[in-house]
Amino acid sequence: MSDRFALTGARIFDGDDWHEGHALVVRDGLVEAILPTGAIPSDIRVVDTGGGLLAPGFVDLQVNGGGGVMLNDHPDVASIETICRAHAPFGTTALLPTLITDTPAITAAAVAAGEAAARQKVPGFLGLHLEGPHLSVARKGAHDPVLIRPMTDADQAMLIAARQKLPVLLTTIAPESVEPARVAVLAKAGIIVSLGHSDTGYAAASAFAEAGASMITHLFNAMSQIGNREPGLAGAAIDIGTLSAGLIADGIHVDPATIKIALRAKQGPARIVLVTDAMATIGTEMTSFTLNDRTIYRRDGSLRLADGTLAGADLDMISAVRFIHRVVGVELSEALRMASLYPAQAIGQSHRLGRFANGTAADIVALSDDLDTKGVWIGGEKVFAAGSDTVR
């Protein structure tokens, strides 16, 4: 017997347009239709969401941890499950657990865990993001410089083999450590290649985009900046229309005025997308944790090494949406798209994520008018309800 229900009582944003006085109909984990409330079939269950709005669940392409867990410290399926559960209350229904630069052994364990999570269909698991180790030491950020190294034939083969067993594989590389020919091979194999942690110039970034790189990792952070005679990687991210760019919208990593400038200037069709770059702290009260045997401190809304270097973000996706809407001034529908449709497009998953249409995943976030999370569904199953002590 099929599981079919209709969500009513809220404005519905389908990824493109708003619907008033309508219901979102779900069947067997997929969106079936958006219907006027008067047209709901009499034989299906009706759930009144009590006002507010319904929107496609958020898609986060850079999540290092959550629920007290870092993927680097525990590269296993249990940690992936914990991270996905930790982000669900904040509206994230699909995410890429992200491995920060580490040893080949830890990288192999993370890939194996991702492959197992895909087989087990862990709710919220979208694939993996391997951020490094093929970066630039000059723009290392919080990555351990001892572990940064050039890409080898074996590394390339490992990535291609992993992609064959993962629904999505994204890797952040720097032109200083990877040849364009390798990027072309990776992109042809279906791997999303993102440029980041790099001091490269505009010309090299353009060449890598032509080779197949299609993203930029955390725009303006750990990269060459826009200058009067050299646009840098930041300038390439904004000017090259095939490059999507992740953005950490917390007011700490990038100034609101800089975000406004970037949004006005960004060339399409690729877009700026919201990412959290979240660490283990999300969903917890912890005040510190470790990464590669270094302590990271949680203070004043940021996460930093002892020397003050930013180390990821203490950010969840609904907070990023509120910030980009309320502080930066982005219209609400566009803010929601930056957290759902645009990241789904960046990784080739917009046919099933980031919008409500017949046959798309019933990944849904219910928000109050104040943009607080009221409920979350992944594949039509409710995994979070405000006021509940548990997240399924």
């690729």: which residue's tokens? 270
Tell me how far apart the alpha carbons of residues 254 and 219 are, in angstroms, rounded to a whole number.
8
Structure tokens belonging to residue 175 = 């032109």
Tell me how far apart the alpha carbons of residues 63 and 95 are, in angstroms, rounded to a whole number.
7
**DSSP labels, 32-55:** EEEEEGGG--TTSEEEE--SSEEE
Tell me how far apart the alpha carbons of residues 315 and 327 are, in angstroms, rounded to a whole number.
15
Give the bridge partners for 132, in sequence order.
none
Residue in 14, 60, 102, 277 annotated catalytic: 277
Please report, to the nearest 10 degrees, the dihedral formed by the alpha carbons of residues 265, 270, 134, 116 taken in order.
140
DSSP helix/strand/coil, 280 = coil
The 10 Å Cβ neighbour count of residue 306 is 9
Residues 6+ apart with CB under 8 A from 188: 212
Tell me how far apart the alpha carbons of residues 116 and 13 are, in angstroms, rounded to a whole number.
34
The 10 Å Cβ neighbour count of residue 314 is 23
Given a contact cutoff of 8 angstroms between Cβ atoms, the answer to whether 366 and 85 are in contact is no
Q: Which amino acid is at 34?
A: I
372 is catalytic: no
Q: What angle, 0 to 180 degrees and rounded to 10, lies between the N-to-C axes of helices 232-239 and 202-211?
A: 50
Residues 6+ apart with CB under 8 A from 244: 214, 215, 216, 270, 271, 272, 273, 342, 343, 345, 346
Given a contact cutoff of 8 angstroms between Cβ atoms, the answer to whether 51 and 369 are in contact is yes
- Catalytic positions: 277
